[in-house]
């Protein structure tokens, strides 16, 4: 088994790590009590059998790790079930953040109402564990696959395309087209295919796919950033800047609600600042780079030396230009 | 300097969020659904206790560049400056 660990990520225990009788009782409970509920909300395609892919206990403890949380991500299974193992009044902060809920009335952070309550969502829907301010928040997360379902096949095709993208973008495009056929509303597949088109030099196809992805998933800051890149490649400088501004706005919204700052927010700022500096707006570009430096200090683990160098170089260049004006 | 950001994992289901006044029972119509009491109290307690027991058995040592973690039969190294894979 492979476990991805980051220093900001809280410790996890998989079901097979638990004492055998408890693991067995937990597995039986999932099949007898959780599966029927999952099937009831997946009714249109319930002919596909359910299978547990993984079951893990995650414990966020604000006393042992500073602001523990999970960065925005999606998982490669059909459904995720997130069950509260601690009372909501035992911690401050925390909860699950969904970018897709940014414009909803109830807000983007979902918390359990009581001990034992579960939140069920498609695993591929982007989500984050909001940073914990104090206390302990423990959850049981069950990843469930709907075996051989079109949606799971679409995910497999995307995963294969993601691996093939750099070495064989044409093959990756074929895989992604099959994925989109199986799951027409698959924003991620469209987005990934747009990056393949860029590698193949097909800017118009990339633009079409990236626009579709951004339209299907309007609160995804990464899609806005990449839309800016593609618009820039197509010669639409103003459109690119607008896309990068929207990307930065969304990344800032994520942070406002307690998401771990993302290195991608720095990329969007670099893209916008470079573009603005081409307009001789060195003051504006410098302001954006100063904010990027702040973000780098908040998320040092993910930032590459090249990115730090780019931010510092552009900031120094803009400051020098401002001094000469 | 300009770069395309690729997703680590991929979003598949993207549907509009329905107004709250419409009762939603299908996951395809919602970002998430709530289910009360998915786990009984005794299983909550025993699961938490077993997870704590697993972690208490673990140990972590470190040198200048890495942390070394040991949980039961699993052992792995984590670079201090970056994430990595534990096997």
Predicted confidence (pLDDT) at residue B16 exceeds the cutoff of 60: no
Q: Nearest CA of chain A to the CA of B63: how many Å?
A: 15
**Same-domain pairing of A237 and A136:** no
Give, rounded to a whole angstrom, the gap between the first and last alpha carbons of chain B. Answer: 34
Per CB-CB distance under 8 Å, the chain B contacts of A42 are 26-28
Are A16 and A120 part of one and the same domain? Answer: yes
Domain boundary among A103, A126, A146: A146
Is A201 a domain residue?
yes
Same domain for A164 and A224? no
pLDDT for the residue numbered B74: 57
Chain A residue numbers with beta carbons less than 8 Å from the beta carbon of B79 are none
A18–B38 CB contact, under 8 Å: no
A188 and A106 in a common domain: no
Question: Can you list the pairs that A298-301 forms with residues at least 24 positions away whose Cβ atoms lie under 8 Å?
Answer: A298/A261, A299/A260, A299/A261, A299/A262, A299/A263, A301/A6, A301/A7, A301/A8, A301/B81, A301/B82, A301/B83
CB-CB under 8 Å, A229 with B13: no
Task: Compute and round to an integer the Cα radius of gyration of chain A.
Answer: 22
Q: Which of A18, A75, A186 sits opposite B47 (nearest CB)?
A: A18
Structure tokens at A104: 């909803």
Q: Which residue of B has its CA nearest to A11?
A: B55
Residue range(s) defining the domain that contains residue A203: 158-214
Instruction: Tell me, yes or no, whether A124 lies in a domain.
Output: yes
Model confidence over B23-62: pLDDT tens digits? 667 887 889 999 999 999 999 999 999 998 887 776 566 6
Quick one: pLDDT at residue A53? 94
Q: Which of residues 266-325 of A touch B (CB under 8 A)?
A: 267, 270-271, 274, 301-302, 310, 314
Burial B40-62 (b: 16+ CB within 10 A, else e): eeebbebbbebbeebeeeeeeee
Between positions 145 and 184 of A, the ones with CB within 8 A of B are 151, 154-155, 158-159, 162, 165, 183
A76 contacts B31? CB cut-off 8 A: no
Residue A151 lies in a domain: no
Considering the domain architecture, whether residues A250 and A204 belong to the same structural domain is answered as no
Residue B82, pLDDT > 60, answer no
In order along its 325 residues, chain A shows pLDDT tens digits of 233 333 445 678 888 888 999 999 999 999 999 999 998 888 665 688 999 999 999 999 888 877 888 889 999 999 999 999 999 999 999 999 999 999 898 899 999 899 999 999 999 999 999 999 999 999 999 999 999 999 999 999 999 999 999 999 999 999 999 999 999 888 999 999 999 999 999 999 999 999 999 999 999 999 999 999 999 999 999 999 999 999 999 999 999 999 988 888 999 999 999 999 999 999 999 999 999 999 888 765 578 888 899 999 999 999 999 988 7
Separation of alpha carbons A167 and A83, rounded Å: 40
Residues of A in contact with B68 (CB under 8 A): none
pLDDT, residue B69, reads 58
The answer to the question of residue A30 being in a domain is yes
Question: Which residue of A lies nearest to B13 if distances are taken between CA atoms?
Answer: A186
Q: Kindly indicate the confidence band of residue B19, based on its pLDDT and cuts at 50, 70 and 90.
A: very low
pLDDT of residue B21: 52
Is the Cβ pair B31, A101 closer than 8 Å?
Answer: yes
Q: Does one domain contain both A130 and A246? A: no
A85, A144, A202: which to substitute to probe chain B, counting the most B Cβ within 10 Å? A85
Contact A25 B46 (CB under 8 A): yes
Q: What does DSSP say about strands A50-61 and A132-146: parallel, antiparallel, or unpaired? A: antiparallel
| Separation between Cα atoms, residue A282 and residue A315, nearest integer Å | 9
Which of A114, A120, A146, A149 to probe by mutation at the B interface, max B CB count within 10 Å? A120
**Contact check, Cβ <8 Å, B2/A232:** yes
- Which one of A7, A20, A184 would you mutate to disrupt binding with B, by most B Cβ within 10 Å of its Cβ? A7
CA distance B12 to A151: 7
Contact of A118 with chain B, judged by CB distance below 8 Å, is answered with yes
- CA atoms in the 13 A half-sphere facing the CB of A45: 13
A223 in the same domain as A165: no
List the CATH number of the domain containing A268.
Answer: 1.25.40.10
pLDDT at A212: 96
Residue from A135, A133, A139, A134 nearest A112 by CA: A139
Report the alpha-carbon distance of residue A118 to residue A243 in Å, rounded.
Answer: 36
A138/B48 Cβ within 8 A: yes
In a domain, residue A239? The reply is: yes
Answer yes or no: is A73 within a domain: yes
Q: Bridge-partner residues for B85, per DSSP?
A: A4
CA-nearest of A101, A254, A178, A243 to B15 is A101
CATH number at residue A64: 2.60.120.620
pLDDT of the residue at A71 = 87
Domain count, chain A: 3
Chain B residues in contact with A264 (beta carbon < 8 A): 5
- Of A146, A172, A193, the position where a domain reaches its end is A146
Q: How far is A314 from chain B (nearest CA, A)?
A: 10
Residues A135 and A69 in one domain: yes
Is A246 touching B (CB cutoff 8 A)?
no
Note whether B36 contacts A116, CB cutoff 8 Å.
yes
**Chain A residues touching residue B4 (CB < 8 angstroms):** 195, 198, 226, 229
- Tell whether A248 and A177 lie within a shared domain: no
Whether residues A16 and A127 share a domain: the answer is yes
pLDDT of residue A7: 41
Residue A122's pLDDT is what? 93
| CATH code of the domain in which A195 resides | 1.25.40
Do A70 and A198 fall within a single domain? no
Indicate the residue among A114, A146, A178 that finishes a domain.
Answer: A146
pLDDT at B86: 38
Residues A70 and A135 grouped into a single domain: yes
Q: Which pLDDT value is given to residue A128?
A: 93
Tell me if A271 is assigned to some domain. Answer: yes
**Could you tell me if residue A153 is inside a domain?**
no
């Amino acid at each position: 088994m492979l476990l991805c660990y980051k220093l900001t990520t809280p410790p996890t225990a998989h079901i097979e790590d638990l004492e055998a009788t408890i693991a067995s009782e937990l597995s039986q409970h999932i099949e007898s009590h959780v599966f029927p509920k999952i099937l009831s909300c997946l009714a249109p395609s319930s002919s596909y059998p359910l299978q547990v892919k993984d079951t893990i206990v995650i414990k966020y403890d604000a006393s042992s790790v500073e602001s523990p949380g999970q960065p925005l991500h999606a998982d490669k299974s059909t459904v995720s079930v997130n069950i509260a193992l601690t009372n909501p009044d035992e911690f401050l902060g925390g909860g699950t953040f969904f970018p897709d809920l940014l414009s909803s009335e109830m807000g983007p952070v979902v918390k359990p109402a009581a001990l034992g309550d579960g939140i069920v969502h498609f695993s591929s829907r982007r989500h984050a564990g909001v940073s914990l301010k104090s206390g302990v928040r423990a959850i049981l997360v069950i990843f469930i696959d709907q075996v051989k379902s079109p949606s799971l096949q679409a995910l497999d095709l995307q995963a294969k395309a993601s691996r093939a993208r750099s070495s064989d973008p044409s093959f990756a495009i074929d895989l992604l087209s099959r994925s989109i056929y199986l799951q027409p509303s698959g924003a991620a597949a469209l987005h990934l295919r747009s990056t393949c088109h860029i590698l193949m030099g097909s800017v118009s196809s990339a633009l079409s796919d990236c626009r579709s992805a951004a339209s299907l998933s309007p609160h995804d800051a990464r899609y806005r950033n990449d839309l800016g890149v593609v618009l820039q490649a197509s010669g639409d400088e103003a459109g690119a800047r607008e896309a990068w501004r929207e990307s930065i706005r969304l990344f800032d919204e994520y942070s406002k609600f307690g998401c771990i700052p993302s290195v991608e927010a720095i990329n969007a700022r670099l893209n916008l600042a470079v573009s603005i500096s081409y307009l001789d707006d060195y003051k504006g570009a410098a302001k954006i780079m100063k904010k990027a430096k702040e973000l780098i200090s908040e998320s040092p683990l993910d930032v590459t030396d090249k990115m730090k160098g780019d931010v510092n170089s552009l900031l120094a260049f803009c400051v020098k230009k401002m001094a000469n004006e | 300097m300009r770069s395309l950001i690729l997703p680590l994992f991929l979003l598949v289901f993207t549907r509009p969020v329905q107004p709250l006044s419409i009762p939603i029972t299908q996951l395809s119509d919602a970002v998430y659904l709530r289910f009360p009491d998915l786990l009984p109290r005794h299983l909550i307690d025993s699961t938490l206790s077993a997870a704590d027991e697993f972690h208490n058995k673990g140990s972590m040592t470190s040198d200048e560049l890495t942390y070394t973690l040991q949980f039961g039969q699993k052992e792995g190294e984590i670079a201090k400056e970056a994430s990595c894979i534990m096997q």
